[in-house]
Amino acid sequence: MRVLLVEDDPMIGDSLRKGLRLEGFTVDWVEDGRAAELALETTDYALVLLDLGLPKKDGLSVLRGWRQREVTVPVLVLTARDAVPERVEGLDSGADDYLVKPFDLSELLARMRALARRRAGRAHDRIEWGALRLDLLSRAVDYRGRPVALSGREFTLLRALAEAPGAVLSREQLEERLYGWGEEVESNAIEVHVHNLRRKLNPQLIRTLRGVGYRLENLD
Ligand code: CA
C-alpha cells in the first residue's frame, strides 16, 4: 500500500515514515502543501496522511482543493488542534478520519486499516481468492490451508493483485505500489518477485499477459 505522508515536523515525519515502512507500507514523505498537491498529481496513493499546519499551503486548503476536483483518495488528518470546531471543519472539508497528536503508531495503523477496509468494501482484514488467503493484519498468507512464508515485497505484490482479482496490473503499476521515491528498483524486480511467488504458491497462480501485465488466476 503506497501512502503519501504530508508532515512538516521533521521528527514526526521521520519517525512515521520509519514506523510505516517497518509495517510494510511504501511511504513518500513531503513537507509542505504544494509538494503534497504535486505528489498526488503524479502518483497513485491508497491513502494520504495530512498534517494541517503546513508551509506554503495549509492542509485544509489542500484537502478542499482535492475534493473540489473530485479526488477521492482517503485522507486521514493528523492534527495538533484538539478543538471540536477544527475537527468538524476537517471532516466537513473532506477528511475521512483524523488523529490528534501525539498519537500511538498502533492507533494510526488501526485507523489506516479501517479506511482501507471501507475503501475496498471489506468488513474484515482478510482477502480470500480461491484457495488463497491473506491476513492483512498479521501479513500471514496461506494457500490450500498451508502457511506460506513471504518477504515483505512479495506480500505487498500479492496483496496488490489480490485486491484487484481478475484485473491485470502492469509492471509499472506494481512497481509504484512496491517502491517509494528514491528507492532503487532493479529493472527485473517485479519479475523476480512474481517468480518467487509462483514457486512458493503455485506456478499457475499469477499469469503473465505479455506486454500488458500480471493477473491473479482463480484455480480452485
Ligand atoms: Ca505542522
150 and 193 both lie in a single domain: yes
Cα 58 to ligand 1 centroid, rounded to whole Å: 9
Pairing of strands 213-216, 132-135: unpaired
**pTM score of the predicted model:** 0.83
60 and 99 both lie in a single domain: yes
70 and 155 both lie in a single domain: no
Cα 186 to ligand 1 centroid, rounded to whole Å: 35
Cα 113 to ligand 1 centroid, rounded to whole Å: 24
Q: Nearest 5°: CA angle at 179, between 37 and 56? A: 20
109 and 20 both lie in a single domain: yes
Residue partners of 145: CB distance under 8 A and separation at least 6: 131
Domain holding 168, by residue range, is 126-216
99 and 139 both lie in a single domain: no
Cα 216 to ligand 1 centroid, rounded to whole Å: 41
Which parts of the chain sit beneath pLDDT 70? 220
State the pLDDT at residue 220. 67
Cα 9 to ligand 1 centroid, rounded to whole Å: 6
101 and 159 both lie in a single domain: no
What is the 3 state secondary structure string of 109-169? Answer: HHHHHHHHHHHHCCCCCEEEECCEEEECCCCEEEECCEEECCCHHHHHHHHHHHHCCCCEE
Q: What is the CATH number of the domain that holds 166?
A: 1.10.10.10
130 and 116 both lie in a single domain: no
Distance CA 180, CA 59 (A): 22
- What 3-state class would DSSP assign to 44? coil
Domain boundary among 94, 120, 146: 120
- Cα torsion angle, 162, 195, 157, 177, sign: negative
- For residue 4, what are the β-bridge partners? 28, 48
Distance CA 208, CA 216 (A): 9
148 and 205 both lie in a single domain: yes
Cα 1 to ligand 1 centroid, rounded to whole Å: 24
160 and 114 both lie in a single domain: no
Cα 182 to ligand 1 centroid, rounded to whole Å: 24
44 and 130 both lie in a single domain: no
Domain boundary among 120, 142, 162: 120
Cα 78 to ligand 1 centroid, rounded to whole Å: 9
Cα 172 to ligand 1 centroid, rounded to whole Å: 33
Cα 99 to ligand 1 centroid, rounded to whole Å: 13
Cα 15 to ligand 1 centroid, rounded to whole Å: 14
Q: Given the C-alpha cell 506456478, which residue does it identify?
A: 203
Domain boundary among 59, 93, 120: 120
Cα 134 to ligand 1 centroid, rounded to whole Å: 36
Cα 84 to ligand 1 centroid, rounded to whole Å: 18
Cα 207 to ligand 1 centroid, rounded to whole Å: 45
Cα 51 to ligand 1 centroid, rounded to whole Å: 6
Distance CA 8, CA 136 (A): 29
55 and 161 both lie in a single domain: no
What confidence tens digit (pLDDT) does each residue in 54-68 have? 999 999 999 999 999
Cα 29 to ligand 1 centroid, rounded to whole Å: 13
